[in-house]
């Protein structure tokens, strides 16, 4: 299992709780760092608070966020050498074709619509965790990052 933290970028407290419970139910032991808006996510990833930058094993990114929206967060992540290879899964309630296309155009690794029913959310969290933290072989660190 990939041991780094998971960065959950989500402004809805209910969705944060859903995600934390679903990962706990699936025995996903990675630390989960929650950013409540896009600005906070970028501060964590690029250490603008003076601490070391967060290097998550996986980023779960909502696209409808306050301050800096998820598309801009994704654009920034992919535009920087030290973060461009991080796996980013867009996890959102949107199923609009334009959001799906734009997410992939900006470099999302996956687009997942959040299930509304908790048991379906638990199942989706299991699949996400198994694939991205166990099956997937992440890119090795580069000199740039």
| Nearest residue to 76 via CA among 43, 34, 35, 100 | 43
C-alpha span between 39 and 132 (Å, rounded): 24
Residue 54 in domain:
yes
> pTM for the complete prediction?
0.91
> To which residue do tokens 């299991």 refer?
126
CATH number at residue 73: 3.40.50.2300
Residue 140 in domain:
no
Q: Containing domain of residue 52, as a range?
A: 6-135
Residue 31 in domain:
yes
pLDDT digits (tens), the chain, 145 positions: 567 899 999 999 999 998 999 999 989 989 999 999 999 999 999 986 667 899 999 999 999 999 999 999 999 999 999 999 999 999 998 889 999 999 999 999 999 998 888 888 888 888 888 888 888 888 877 665 5
């Amino acid at each position: 299992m990939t041991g780094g933290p998971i960065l959950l970028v989500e402004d809805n407290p209910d969705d944060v709780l859903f995600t934390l419970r679903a990962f706990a139910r699936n025995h996903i032991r990675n630390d989960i760092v929650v950013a409540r808006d896009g600005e906070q996510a970028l501060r964590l990833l690029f250490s603008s608070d003076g601490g070391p930058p967060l290097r998550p094993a996986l980023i779960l990114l909502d696209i409808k966020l306050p301050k800096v929206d998820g598309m801009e967060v994704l654009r920034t992540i992919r535009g920087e050498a030290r973060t461009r290879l991080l796996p980013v899964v867009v996890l959102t309630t949107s199923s609009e074709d334009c959001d799906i296309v734009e997410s992939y155009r900006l470099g999302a690794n996956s687009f997942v619509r959040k299930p509304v029913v908790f048991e379906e959310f638990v199942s989706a969290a299991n699949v996400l965790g198994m694939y991205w933290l166990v099956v997937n072989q992440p890119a090795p660190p580069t000199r740039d990052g």
